[in-house]
Amino acid sequence: MNKIAKYIINYIDVKKIIQIMNKKKVKKYIIKFLFIIYLFFMLAYLKKIKLEEPFEKKIRTIITKDKKNSLNYFACFVGIARLENLYARELIEHYISIGFDKFYIGDHNSLNYEPLSDVLKDYIDKGILDIIDLRDQEVHQIDFNNYIFNAKKNVCKWLSFFDFDEFLEFNDKNMNIKTYLSKEEFNKCDTILIHWLSFFDNDLVHYDKRPVKERFTKANYNNFENNYHKSIVRGKNYSSENLFHNVHQPNISLVKFCDAEGNIENFRDGYLGTPKFKYCHLNHYSMKTIEEFLRKFKIGNFQYKYDYDYRIKFFFKYDKITNEKLDIIEKKLNYNCSELRKYLNSYYPK
């Protein structure tokens, strides 16, 4: 910094610059320039916040046959789904089997895709599932979580905010969600944080109709993502209606947190540290096969080469690289993998 200051003093005539800037014409242009910069940043800011309308106005309709209006549910599943129709029935059956009694699911598919309400009609008819139709709407999962929590916090004793690739599993097969959440150590908690347990692709390449839990059986205990978690939140009033500010858990300042064993810990957003698998874990089937993984490219914006490279490298960080998988990438994406082949073969040998 001292060298820069000396350079300015020795080589730049500051007084002359000030004299030039004090001229009326120059001042006029400077003001115009600064005004243009101001407008640019204001437009960028407005584009970012998009002056968004209330979340409720983005809901096309709510499909429900639930006539209950009082506190009747102990454990509710909350999730938003996009391109998850193939796995939806298995997920609901799994959570019913461990004691969940109500589901609130956002259908975030496009309008030209099969509605989730058609796939899950029988669960809707039984009154255990409500579908919030968000098809072709620009919504964020955080806003969906806040909307459902505020609407159902007096209907559900506990609300679990999980994704469709996350399956809660208890180590004790005699345990269910009710016996787990009724443990004395959770009496002091508003939110319980459940660690992910990631799974390999089991050397499978293509989708098949077997259940996810049957196809993917090899847990990856060394995956760094296991340090992350999702939340089960007690239904009650808190000091803010914007309870969630990320998809992993509510705002740290608003609730009392426990880990999955009932211990209160200090942690940063989304990241809880060393996994706690004493009672349970959240099986995380985020990758599945390479064929299914590539389908998820439709969810985000992967139009740039960097995004393709980054995501594919991420897949092979844990799963075995094979030419067959790379061939599928080239075919499905119409994408030249020659550079990627060299990179992956050097960093992730077969």
Q: Are residues 34 and 64 in the same domain?
A: no
Look at 33-37, 78-82, 196-200, 281-285 and tell me which has the smallest mean pLDDT. 33-37
Query: How many domains does one find in the chain?
Result: 3
**pLDDT digit string, tens, across residues 191-224:** 999 999 999 999 999 999 999 999 999 999 988 8
Q: Is position 340 within any domain?
A: yes
Q: Is position 296 within any domain?
A: no
Mean pLDDT, range 132-152, rounded to an integer: 94
Q: Is position 97 within any domain?
A: yes
Q: Are residues 20 and 153 in the same domain?
A: no
Distances (CA, A) of 255 to 193, 239, 252: 12, 9, 6
Look up the domain containing 337 and give its range.
301-347
Q: Is position 189 within any domain?
A: yes
Q: Are residues 110 and 191 in the same domain?
A: yes
Q: Is position 257 within any domain?
A: yes
Q: Are residues 159 and 254 in the same domain?
A: yes
Indicate the residue among 236, 253, 284 that finishes a domain. 284
* pTM > 0.85: yes or no: no
Q: Are residues 123 and 40 in the same domain?
A: no
- Range 205-211, long-range pairs (CB < 8 A, 24+ positions): 205/289, 205/290, 205/291, 205/322, 205/324, 205/325, 205/328, 206/289, 206/291, 207/86, 207/288, 207/289, 207/291, 207/292, 211/90
Q: In the predicted model, is pLDDT for residue 302 greater than 50? A: no
Question: What pLDDT does residue 109 have?
Answer: 93
- Residue type at position 185: E
Distances (CA, A) of 112 to 59, 109, 141, 335: 17, 8, 21, 25
The C-alpha angle with vertex 245 and arms to 187 and 99, in degrees rounded to 5, equals: 45
Question: What pLDDT does residue 349 have?
Answer: 59
333: exposed, middle or buried (Cβ count in 10 Å: 0-12, 13-18, 19+): middle
Q: Is position 295 within any domain?
A: no
Q: Are residues 21 and 170 in the same domain?
A: no
**pLDDT digit string, tens, across residues 41-75:** 777 665 555 556 788 889 999 999 887 655 589 99
Q: In the predicted model, is pLDDT for residue 166 greater than 70? A: yes
Residues 6+ apart with CB under 8 A from 178: 74, 75, 99
Q: Are residues 77 and 12 in the same domain?
A: no
- Structural element, H or E, at residue 166: strand 166-170
Q: How far is residue 101's CA from residue 178's CA, in Å, rounded to a whole number?
A: 10
Q: In the predicted model, is pLDDT for residue 96 greater than 90? A: yes
Q: Are residues 305 and 270 in the same domain?
A: no
Question: What pLDDT does residue 146 have?
Answer: 96
**pLDDT digit string, tens, across residues 335-350:** 788 877 787 777 665 5
Mean pLDDT of the chain: 84
Q: Are residues 253 and 342 in the same domain?
A: no
Q: How far is residue 196's CA from residue 159's CA, in Å, rounded to a whole number?
A: 18
Q: Is position 149 within any domain?
A: yes
pLDDT confidence band for 301 (50 / 70 / 90): very low
pLDDT confidence band for 3 (50 / 70 / 90): low
Q: Are residues 114 and 252 in the same domain?
A: yes
**pLDDT digit string, tens, across residues 67-80:** 765 558 999 999 99
pLDDT confidence band for 16 (50 / 70 / 90): low
| CB-based contact 154:70 (threshold 8 Å) | no
Look at 7-16, 132-141, 292-301 and tell me which has the smallest mean pLDDT. 7-16
Percent of the chain at pLDDT exceeding 90? 55
Question: What pLDDT does residue 337 have?
Answer: 80
pLDDT confidence band for 4 (50 / 70 / 90): low
Q: Are residues 45 and 62 in the same domain?
A: no
Q: Are residues 274 and 256 in the same domain?
A: yes
pLDDT confidence band for 5 (50 / 70 / 90): low
Question: What pLDDT does residue 303 have?
Answer: 42
What is the dihedral angle through the alpha carbons of 148, 154, 157, 162, rounded to the nearest 10 degrees? 0
Indicate the residue among 256, 284, 312 that finishes a domain. 284
Tell me the CA end-to-end span of the chain in Å, nearest whole number: 50
Question: What pLDDT does residue 269 have?
Answer: 54
Q: What is the CATH number of the domain that holds 189?
A: 3.90.550
Q: Is position 289 within any domain?
A: no
